[in-house]
Structure 1
Amino acid sequence: MIISTAVVALSLFIVYHSIYRTLCIGPLQKVPGPKLYAITKWRLALDDYNGVRTRSIHSLHQKYGTAVRISPNEVSFSSLSALRTIYGAGSGFERTDFYRMFDVYGRQNLFTFAGVKQHADRKKLLAHAYSKSAILSPNAIAKPLIEKNVNSYLELLEHEKGVTEEIFQSLHWFSLDSITGFLYGNQHGGTHALKGDSRDRELLNDVIDPSRRLLSWYAVHLKNYTKWLYTRTGLMEKIVINLGLLPMKKPATYTGIRAHALKSWNSFEASVARSPPIRDMSIMEKLWRHSTSRKGPLLDGLDIASEAADHFLAGIDTTSDTLMFTIWALSRPENRIYQEKLIQEVNNIPEMDCNADGNPTTEAADKLPYLDAIIKEALRLYAPLPASEPRLSPVDTKIDGYLIPAGTVVSMSPYTLHRNPEVFPEPLRFNPERWLGGNGDCAEMKKWFWAFSSGGRMCIGLHLAMAEMTTLLAAIYRKYTTSGYDRQKRVSPGITSRFEAFYDESLPKYEVSEYAFFA
């Protein structure tokens, strides 16, 4: 009894001492926020598990202000000054270990490099290929590829049964064919989902599977346990499966995509061994040319395959989800006026700025101000990656007056930045005309617009994604109007991003819905 009492007393003392140190000692104790979040990381992990992390943090900012302590070692910010300090060019903040879950084939890539120099060295190899001038150039790979896929998408609407009743999957086929063609070229991994290739369409199964949200939670919060679960073989594997312990059944998320990406590299490598390519077109070819030039950091085959595979994943549902939400928003009866103005704008495109198929060119679509405003507003409300972007400072730093010790995780989210009512009046209302000076300070709004991140880590695929979206939407609304079915009233589509499902929170419920085109 004496020993048991002593153990209990010692345990209580350790817990008390830990809580005391967390709440009462050190610089972070000055950062406001709920005490339970400050005591244990598992309170925020519970929000992750319930799929409400981003909305919970947003609510905490509304209650406590622009700086909130959301775990013992993480602070969330929501001010413009913090945005510049943490994510501005040359800030020195690095990516956390969270991003290592996106390593491919055991190799790091542009997205997962923590160090500023590693990231910058890799980005130099790719920046020109993703520049706006290269994306819009008729002599590069992106422009003809996007215009071909836009034409294929409109043909799909005309000829494939069911596509006009449900656009979620077909928009994924469009972004899939666009990103694979850009990365791999037509011969070594470019897909043809829009043309009906069933194997290419099946690549999306592990991307759109809702259970990947739960797997992401396990991979982040129970990393070693998750690795153990998925590496079991034989009898133990059968036991794990029969007990229902796997958060997502095998093959798990991204298995198909990564297998396709590695196959694409192997095909390219075998081809260049026989006959080197003549033109420097696809991303994979550009990286291969660098690896053979002996200039800069050396990349081997798995480095190239990992880099391309990461871009492959990043370029699918980000673009297609934004397109889906844009079309859905324009199809709502209360937003009909915006659709009508867009139709008027695209119908005014001269024939000389259209291709032989009658669809606007990528350059013409890029110059449409009303369409640009519509996409900006869709990205503001329905950013495809709306959750926190964690960073780590290797040195003590002051942010908004708070001393943040080295090694502390700091983060911000597009979701919260885009819902600041002082910058975006009526923040939950879809109103593209705010970007044209109709409601708010455009210059100030652009400072807060963060759908593609900022600084050195800004999304490298920004111009490719915008070219895909503007060209497709200009073509669709030049030929069609869109509206939803009666059964879809008061229902929002939903997307899975990281641990959460996101939807239009102004509506009482959500589900992935179907939307129709009407000629």
Structure 2
Amino acid sequence: MTGSIFDQAVVFLVYILYHLIYRPLYANPLRKLPGPKLFAITKWRLALADYHGVRTQAIHTLHQKHGTAVRIGPNEVSFSSLSALKTIYGAGSGFERTGFYRMFDVYGRQNLFTFAGVKKHAERKKLLAHAYSKSAILSPNGIAKPLIEKNVNNYLELLDRQKGVAEETFQSLHWFSLDSITGFLYGPQHGGTYALTGNEPHRKLLGDIIDPTRRMLSWYAVHMTGYTKWLYTRTGAMEKLVTSLGLLPMQKPATYTGIRAHALQSWTEFEASVVDNPPDLSIVEKLWRHSKSSKGSRLDSLDMASEAADHLLAGIDTTSDTLMFTIWALSRQENRKYQQKLIEEVHGIPDSDCNDFGNPTVEVADKLPYLDAVIKETLRLYAPLPASEPRSLPVDTTIDGYVIPAGTVVGMSPYTLHRNSEVFPEPLKFKPERWLGECGDCTEMKKWFWAFSSGGRMCIGLHLAMAEMTTLLAAIYRRYSTSEYRGQTGASPGITSRFEVFYDETLPKEHECWINFERLTQTD
């Protein structure tokens, strides 16, 4: 009996040594890559950093210590060179998105964001690319221009009407981005929201998005996928037990529940009322038109609803967070000189280039060089999606001289690319002038700028987001100057509900972002 137990213990020990020590450290081609042994042995070391919301910072620290190629898991490698960027994310690279993205499927259907294969992604993108093109976004005959200009005016009216409410910019800018993306996707009648003008049900749609426990749910969904699915599919007595024991990482309704319900209802209302020839403006109308005219594979109702819902989710946080960090950065005492330059630029816009609301038009705001530099610098320091974008290749390949076996997860992060001190001198400082050629080679900096990704998977909503941001910021600083609330001086706004806690790493974080808006006089 004793011998049997001893034999089993030896077998177990050999198994552990083989799978946790020998195989990852000595038998895997990735053994030649630099990096801590603990990261190479188990995925749970990186998962621990995820748990604390510091994954991207942890990987960045590893790059600073080990160089441009670092092994961060038994089957995962992070890179930070331009050559790797081209190899992994360049057009025709062959690298595909990993299973990580399937957590963003909607209504059980894949969409533009979650397709792994290049072919399916390209086919779906082809349907939508023109609607998101810069010419379409800026067109006076399109849906985006009047929508954005109306919402910009609604934001300014909110500042005038409920200054104390609007000054908590994390919340109020979410209302702006929500109203903009829903109007663009669904049009005003079948899903466009009116959070800025006080619609409480529409404002409440954001509740589960800004809930800090959303981040913990994301962690469980990524690292304990089966267990998380089991937890949230319990019903009856078992559901009550799971809830009472506090096992749910986020109480129901879970993240995106409100948004996805609104998106499905919006699509259903559109489909029920659609006429034979709707104007080809909103995204849902474009998808519907394709489904009726396509001779090949058609999208069914859930495919179209999933696609629109995914764009809705993608278009809220990213835009509002960037706007918040831009206003906050310009409001800091040490950066007021940059704010003054922006105020001077927007005050130089003639009244003839303003719309009926008295604000700069979308087209005019798009052409302001200093405003563009301010936004680029914000996106460099506070990219709304700072984490790695995982990819894999079904065959062996070589990246930067290292053999990467088939199926290995590889990735790069804008956070690390944007903090390369050789390209961006004093990388942690907010310096819009660097984009105007005053702090280095602009051409080189643009090569390293990766806030919107690159290649075929580059953010399709780039021009819409930029139009929203430039138009709102031009209007704000034409009418107001901004400064930090005294109680928040010396602290950074913190994004605590996303997959990763994100804030200015040189400062302690706050969960809100209060800004003073002071009306400018004509002599300012």
TM range, smaller chain? over 0.9
Residue 6 of structure 1 and its aligned partner are, at CA, apart by 1.2
Structure-to-structure mapping, 1:327-476, within 5 angstroms: 327-476=327-476
Residue 488 of structure 1 and its aligned partner are, at CA, apart by 1.2
Q: Distance in 2 between matches of 1:415 and 1:384?
A: 10
1:16 corresponds to which residue?
17
Structure-to-structure mapping, 1:34-433, within 5 angstroms: 34-272=36-274, 275-433=275-433
1:170-209 Cα shifts (integer Å, max 9, x gaps): 1111000000000000011000111100000000001111
1:418–1:427 CA contact under 8 A, matched in 2: yes
1:62-85 Cα shifts (integer Å, max 9, x gaps): 000000000000000000100000
* 1:5 equivalenced with 2:1 (yes/no): no
Q: Distance in 1 between matches of 2:53 and 2:481?
A: 34
Structure-to-structure mapping, 1:26-37, within 5 angstroms: 26-37=28-39
Gaps in structure 1 of 5+ consecutive residues: none
Instruction: Give the 3 Å change call, closer, same or farther, for CA 146–342 of structure 1 in structure 2.
Output: same
2:71–2:78 CA contact under 8 A, matched in 1: yes
2:168–2:512 CA contact under 8 A, matched in 1: no
- 3-state DSSP of counterpart to 2:313: helix
Q: Distance in 1 between matches of 2:226 and 2:499?
A: 18
- 3-state DSSP of counterpart to 2:131: coil
Letter of the structure 1 residue corresponding to residue 489 of structure 2: K
Q: Distance in 1 between matches of 2:365 and 2:340?
A: 17
Instruction: Give the 3 Å change call, closer, same or farther, for CA 498–388 of structure 1 in structure 2.
Output: farther
Residue 498 of structure 1 and its aligned partner are, at CA, apart by 4.3
Q: Distance in 2 between matches of 1:469 and 1:336?
A: 19
Q: Distance in 2 between matches of 1:307 and 1:277?
A: 21
Residue 480 of structure 1 and its aligned partner are, at CA, apart by 0.2
Letter of the structure 2 residue corresponding to residue 8 of structure 1: A
Residue 26 of structure 1 and its aligned partner are, at CA, apart by 2.8
Letter of the structure 2 residue corresponding to residue 429 of structure 1: K
- 3-state DSSP of counterpart to 1:516: strand
Residue 295 of structure 1 and its aligned partner are, at CA, apart by 3.8
1:414–1:450 CA contact under 8 A, matched in 2: yes
Q: What TM-score, normalized to structure 2?
A: 0.97
Letter of the structure 1 residue corresponding to residue 405 of structure 2: P
1:443-488 Cα shifts (integer Å, max 9, x gaps): 0000000000000000000000000000000000000000012211
Letter of the structure 2 residue corresponding to residue 126 of structure 1: L
Q: Distance in 2 between matches of 1:333 and 1:385?
A: 27
1:478 corresponds to which residue?
478
Letter of the structure 2 residue corresponding to residue 235 of structure 1: A
Instruction: Give the 3 Å change call, closer, same or farther, for CA 490–161 of structure 1 in structure 2.
Output: closer
Letter of the structure 2 residue corresponding to residue 93 of structure 1: F
2:213–2:497 CA contact under 8 A, matched in 1: no
Residue 164 of structure 1 and its aligned partner are, at CA, apart by 4.2
- 3-state DSSP of counterpart to 1:502: coil
Residue 15 of structure 1 and its aligned partner are, at CA, apart by 1.1
Point out the more displaced range, 295-304 or 349-358.
295-304
- What is the aligned-residue RMSD (CA, Å)? 1.0
Instruction: Give the 3 Å change call, closer, same or farther, for CA 215–408 of structure 1 in structure 2.
Output: same
Residue 50 of structure 1 and its aligned partner are, at CA, apart by 1.1
Point out the more displaced range, 287-296 or 145-154.
287-296
Residue 394 of structure 1 and its aligned partner are, at CA, apart by 1.4
2:137–2:144 CA contact under 8 A, matched in 1: yes
Q: Distance in 2 between matches of 1:163 and 1:443?
A: 41
2:499 corresponds to which residue?
499
Sequence identity of aligned pairs in percent?
76
Q: What TM-score, normalized to structure 1?
A: 0.98
- 3-state DSSP of counterpart to 1:299: coil
1:181–1:189 CA contact under 8 A, matched in 2: yes
Letter of the structure 2 residue corresponding to residue 28 of structure 1: L
- 3-state DSSP of counterpart to 1:232: coil
TM superposition outliers: structure 1 runs of 4+ over 4 Å: none
Residue 506 of structure 1 and its aligned partner are, at CA, apart by 1.2
- 3-state DSSP of counterpart to 1:482: strand
1:135–1:141 CA contact under 8 A, matched in 2: yes
Q: Distance in 1 between matches of 2:245 and 2:190?
A: 40
2:50–2:219 CA contact under 8 A, matched in 1: yes
Letter of the structure 2 residue corresponding to residue 17 of structure 1: Y
2:522 corresponds to which residue?
none
1:69-125 Cα shifts (integer Å, max 9, x gaps): 000000000001000000001100000000000000000000000000000000000
Q: Distance in 2 between matches of 1:26 and 1:446?
A: 36
- 3-state DSSP of counterpart to 1:500: coil
1:99–1:112 CA contact under 8 A, matched in 2: yes
2:209–2:497 CA contact under 8 A, matched in 1: no
Residue 167 of structure 1 and its aligned partner are, at CA, apart by 1.5
Point out the more displaced range, 124-133 or 503-512.
503-512
Q: Distance in 1 between matches of 2:130 and 2:455?
A: 17
Instruction: Give the 3 Å change call, closer, same or farther, for CA 497–77 of structure 1 in structure 2.
Output: farther
Residue 510 of structure 1 and its aligned partner are, at CA, apart by 4.0
Q: Distance in 2 between matches of 1:103 and 1:43?
A: 27
Instruction: Give the 3 Å change call, closer, same or farther, for CA 161–472 of structure 1 in structure 2.
Output: closer
1:242-299 Cα shifts (integer Å, max 9, x gaps): 0000000000000000000000111011102xx3343111000000000000244310
2:397–2:403 CA contact under 8 A, matched in 1: yes
Q: Distance in 2 between matches of 1:295 and 1:428?
A: 53
Letter of the structure 1 residue corresponding to residue 174 of structure 2: H
1:73–1:409 CA contact under 8 A, matched in 2: yes
1:383-426 Cα shifts (integer Å, max 9, x gaps): 11000100011111110000101100001001000000001000
Gaps in structure 2 of 5+ consecutive residues: 520-524
Point out the more displaced range, 4-13 or 148-157.
4-13
Point out the more displaced range, 183-192 or 505-514.
505-514
Q: Distance in 2 between matches of 1:458 and 1:409?
A: 19
Q: Distance in 1 between matches of 2:126 and 2:333?
A: 46
